Amino acid sequence: MMIPIMGMITGIITTLAFFVAIVLTVKYVSAARNKEKMALIEKGVDISEIYQKKDYRNATLKSGMFLVGVALGLFTGYFLTVLSSINSVVSYFSMILLFGGASLIIFHWYNSKQAD
């Protein structure tokens, strides 16, 4: 019985190429960031003004509201599946997206009101 060696070689080469592409991408992105920072330093620009830390005060609230929205979507999707003849995949995904998106919209509204 003959071993399909070309199939094995193709799989190995594809896997290696994938990981090499990831490594090279990370290398060139970090080199570009370093060059940008060095150019700014040479021009005398204060880097702290450009690279300010982001405000993550409400990150836990955002995550919590999103997860509650997803849970409500699952709950509503289950009831749509049980009480009607709607396909279960359609009801689950549509309700998860609807309630998850609605919770993010409510968070944005709350966050904008809090900033004012």
CA–CA distance, 13 with 41 (Å, rounded to integer):
42
What's the pLDDT score for residue 8? 80
pLDDT band, residue 57 (cuts 50/70/90): confident
Contacts of 42 (CB under 8 A, 6+ apart): none
The model's pTM is 0.56
- DSSP H helical ranges for 1-116: 5-43, 47-50, 59-83, 88-115
Question: Domain residue spans in the chain?
Answer: 5-50, 59-115
Contacts of 24 (CB under 8 A, 6+ apart): none
